[in-house]
Amino acid sequence: MDHNIANLRHDYQLRGLLESDLDPDPLKQFRLWFDEVLAAGITEANAMLLSTASEGRPTGRIVLLKDLGENGFSFFTNYDSKKGREIEGNPQVALTFFWKELERQVRIEGRIAKTSDAESSEYFAVRPRGSQIGAWASAQSETIPDRAFLEAKTDELTARFEGQPVPRPEHWGGYRVVPDYVEFWQGRPSRLHDRLAYTKKADGAWKIERLSP
């Protein structure tokens, strides 16, 4: 055992989380926490771990939350990527947010589906031009020979779209995760953390339960 790693620990002290603190709607509760994260000035507060699974083998990667509405959590990516292929085969996914500065974590589970073409095009239109061209240049998750290959492809596309708007490629767009489980975790001393979980019932209402840490 690497004892330097084993000795890494932090005792969470900032605050607690009680049932009386929660909004009955987990999406509204998430918004309350997210607004606090933004107010704290945390860098890339919208970074989230997206977990997918194919044939029982899980895969995780960080993506960026780009919209939070009453129906769920949205992000944008390449539909032909590894995550896109896994989503196509299994639309059950998980999201995880961790904001260490506030000693908080949120776990989300639910079903994912593509956003509308209109939503995807609307967001693509406001992306930086370099990111728009990057969406064309990158066959995400595919093997390429070297960095020079990617840079040459980018230069080719930059010239191709010079003087005109960059259209959204058909393989690029949004996904929305509609949750049926949301867990709010607040760090507490001695690893006796607060964990409060929302589970969606058959009638659409949310049940809130406290979980042992």
Number of domains within the chain: 1
**Tens digit of each residue's pLDDT (9 = 90 or more) over 33-77:** 999 999 999 999 999 999 999 988 999 999 999 999 988 999 999
DSSP 92: E
DSSP 186: E
Which residues are annotated binding-site positions for FMN?
61-66, 76-77, 82-83, 105, 140-141, 185, 195
In a domain, 164, yes or no: no
CATH number for 13? 2.30.110.10
Torsions phi, psi for 120 (to 5 deg): -65, -45
In a domain, 152, yes or no: no
Report the greatest alpha carbon distance in the chain: 60
In this predicted structure, what is the pLDDT of residue 4?
81
Give the separation between CA 166 and CA 200, rounded to whole angstroms: 41
In a domain, 145, yes or no: no
Which residues are annotated binding-site positions for substrate?
66, 123, 127, 131, 191-193
Full-model pTM: 0.92
Q: Which domain holds residue 107?
A: 8-127+170-211
In a domain, 151, yes or no: no
Asked if 168 and 120 touch (Cβ cutoff 8 Å), the reply is yes
Best CA proximity match to 84, nearest among 175, 177, 178: 175
Give the separation between CA 196 and CA 37, rounded to whole angstroms: 19
In a domain, 138, yes or no: no
In this predicted structure, what is the pLDDT of residue 3?
67
In a domain, 24, yes or no: yes
In a domain, 117, yes or no: yes
- The label of the residue with tokens 């977990």 reads 51
Catalytic residues, which ones?
A: 191
In this predicted structure, what is the pLDDT of residue 55?
87
The ranges of the chain with pLDDT < 50 are: none
Beta bridge partners of 26: none
Helix (H, G, I), strand (E, B) or coil at 213: coil
In a domain, 101, yes or no: yes
